[in-house]
Structure 1
Amino acid sequence: MNKQIKHFFSFLPLLATLAIFSGCDKDSDTVVPESELPAQALSFIATHFAGQTIAQVVEEKERADVSYDVKLTDSTKLEFTSAGTCTSIESAAKLPDSVVPAEIRDYVTTNYSPYEVRAWELEKNDQEVKLTNGVELKFDLNNNFLRVDD
């Protein structure tokens, strides 16, 4: 019996640590009204997706970070930071020219015509576009072509 108690107490710090960290998990996804989107995000949608309406807004909380996933009525998906900066756009069809940097559009037109950009993502160190034929291209933050992505 003494051995069992010792064994139990040897696991107690591990159990306490697990309990603390499971209670600290503040990650959550919540559907919110579009009025909770930052003004910059609402302006971006109105400017570049005129005629589309917002079907759903999901607020994602991951620790201290907040972001928003927006789905439009035509199934276009957009992601925004808490400040309202667009970081990702995905559509089944061609994206509006106004959301793709001109240098990237020109590169795609010159090298991949007749295919067009249907998705764009801003990452920490680069950008990625996906074409209507499924090819993914990487560009640096200055819109210079880097490589075809796997």
Structure 2
Amino acid sequence: MKKVILSGFFALCAFGMFAQADTKNLPATAKDFIQQNFSSNTVEGVEENSKWQIWADDKYEVKLSNGIELDFDENGNIIEIDSQKDAIPMSALPSAIATYLKENYPDSQVIGWEKEKKSQEVELLDGTELEFDGQGNFRKID
């Protein structure tokens, strides 16, 4: 009897680990962004940061099946994309930045993008970090 109960418990745990994460609390803007840019991946985890964590800029942290992590603000606007192995699709980046990268770094892969209040940063696979202003105009190489 113990084996049956333990087997059932482990089966439920395994099912819970591999089931798609619940995205019902994500704003529609965030869901649309994920669908448009990462439709071939499943959402593995969604963490909603508490309103009491005033030091955190991100409200929602989403982890995808390919290891890419997405951070959204309270309105569902993307504020950070981070990957350590897969390239971030150019469609997920602001259009001005994507255009700059296609013209100046056509063979490079983007593994990180972050939007701050007045600037944006892009990290390339080779370690190069590029800084842009809030509108996506190139500023400098960090």
User: Normalising by the residue count of structure 2, what TM-score does the alignment of the two structures yield?
Assistant: 0.74
Deviation at 1:113, TM superposition (A): 4.0
1:88: which partner in 2?
80
CA contact (8 A) 1:138 1:147 kept: yes
In 2: Cα distance, 1:112 partner to 1:90 partner: 19
Unpaired runs of 5+ residues, structure 2, are 1-20
Query: What are the superposed Cα offsets for residues 92-123 of structure 1, whole Å, 9 maximum, x if unpaired?
Result: 22211211223322322333342122211110
2:125: which partner in 1?
132
- 2:138 corresponds to which of 121, 131, 145: 145
1:8: which partner in 2?
none
Give the share of equivalent positions with the same residue, in percent: 36
Residue 35 of structure 1 aligns to a residue whose secondary structure is: coil
- 2:68 corresponds to which of 52, 66, 76: 76
1:59: which partner in 2?
48
1:106: which partner in 2?
99
Query: What are the superposed Cα offsets for residues 6-63 of structure 1, whole Å, 9 maximum, x if unpaired?
Result: xxxxxxxxxxxxxxxxxxxxxxxxxx83211111111110111011110000111252
Total equivalences in the alignment: 118
In 2: Cα distance, 1:64 partner to 1:56 partner: 19
The ranges of structure 1 where at least 4 consecutive aligned residues each deviate by more than 6 angstroms after the TM superposition are none
Greater helix share, structure number: 1
Greater strand share, structure number: 1
Unpaired runs of 5+ residues, structure 1, are 1-31
User: Normalising by the residue count of structure 1, what TM-score does the alignment of the two structures yield?
Assistant: 0.71
Corresponding letter in the other structure for 2:97? I
Structure with bigger gyration radius: 1
Deviation at 1:64, TM superposition (A): 7.0
Residue 35 of structure 2 aligns to a residue whose secondary structure is: helix
1:118: which partner in 2?
111
